Amino acid sequence: MDILIHTLSGTTTAAFLATLSNSDTKGKFLMVLLGGLAGAFPDIDAISLWSKFDTTIGTWLHLSHSGKEIYFGKFWYSHHGFFHSIFAAALLSLLFISIRNVLYSKQKWPLYFKQQQTVLLLAVFFFSYISHLIGDLPTPGAVWGGVRLFFPFEIYIGGYGTTWWWNNYDVFITLCISTALLVSCLYAEDRLSKKNLIKLTAGIYICSFATCFYFVTHHSISYAYKGNTSRYEYYERTSKIDQWNRLGKTIYSYLNKLDKKLPVYF
């Protein structure tokens, strides 16, 4: 999946969890932004594809392999490696809330970890991060064979190839709408009881997940392949045809134009 969808999966997850918080609207909105950051963060391991990686980070760390070799390899720091694991999600979640206490809360650790807001922020970061890993499972196995979900074990999970890497405009729209609806619910908190608000947002979140699951598992062809593929252009073209048929000419054309203007893959 692309970085926009990963970010939106994080904001959708965070917006749902924010309804459980007792903080003010600003605090809840900041939780949504945190979810977006956590949802995008696992792809930090793609930095090895940066054009100047070899002459900067690679040189500083005295790496014996090029950035491209690292990205497509199976080192612990390669793409779909450590940063695409449950262990990384837990470790970085704890790191985040620890830094927050040192710089912001400045409370005694036992008291800090017992607070509802601390637990909730930990959950927002962790589950938004996990949403990224879930989003990568249905993409092709390629050279990795999935994601190293259970690091440090050298087992790669996923790579099912039920959807293509890019052009998942249907999922993008679904997550945009879901995030917008869930954020709107945060502003409607005064009009609903806490119980009804949670029921409403849970319903929206479940519907969003179910819709995305349907979209990524229903395509005209299978995108499953291992290693490299000579059919990349064919897969790319077919995935766009699926989107055309699913979204219609008008919506597809608009999103395709947006796709071409963005500096990131979408």
pLDDT tens string 31-57: 999 999 999 999 999 999 998 999 999
CA 187 to chain centroid, in Å, comes to: 25
CA dist 7 and 4 (Å) reads 5
Is the pLDDT score of 156 beyond 90?
yes
Question: What is the pTM (predicted TM-score) of this model?
Answer: 0.96
What is the average pLDDT score of the chain?
A: 94
Is the pLDDT score of 190 beyond 80?
no
Contact partners, residue 158, CB within 8 Å, separation at least 6: 136, 137, 138, 139, 141, 146, 147, 149
Residue 23 — pLDDT band, cuts 50, 70, 90? confident
Mean per-residue pLDDT for 146-175? 96
CA dist 156 and 139 (Å) reads 13
Measured at the CA of 131, the angle between CA 256 and CA 143, to 5 degrees, comes to 70
Place of tokens 């609903």: 192
Is the pLDDT score of 213 beyond 90?
yes
